[in-house]
Amino acid sequence: MPVDESLPSLLYRYWFWAWMFADMSRARDAYQRAAAWRHNVAQRRYLATYMRRWLVLCALNFAVGGVLEKPLALTVPAAVFYTNFCLAVCVLAFAFIGWLFLGQPADRGAPLR
């Protein structure tokens, strides 16, 4: 079965999750906003998979940085992996906050606009 998507598109879909969620700012009325919220809450379950991927990436970058820094005394390449680790931690934190936010009830007393 041939795949119609390009490799960069597949890689983007593998590492980033924005393509799965509806943009609530484009909703024209309260009904569309509620439908977008329900869709996003339903897609929340997939964020755990993305967080696992980024957690593995964090661990690998930190481990490679540690091996390069201590036993091999290669500080500049280690700094590259430590920088990648820091960026991956930021992405992981962003996903976790989104996962927590989507776990909250839709009506928290604020009116829908």
pLDDT of res. 73: 87
Tokens describing residue 80: 């590259």
Of 14-18, 40-44, 92-96, 107-111, least confident by mean pLDDT is 107-111
Q: Which residues contact 17 (CB under 8 A, 6 or more apart)?
A: 43, 46, 47, 50, 95
Distance, CA of 23 to CA of 26 (rounded, Å) = 6
Q: What is the pLDDT of residues 60-101, one digit of tens each?
A: 999 999 999 988 889 999 999 999 999 999 999 999 999 999
- CA–CA distances in Å: residue 96 to residues 46, 102, 109: 12, 10, 24
Question: In terms of Cα–Cα distance, which of 102, 96, 20 is closest to 54?
Answer: 96
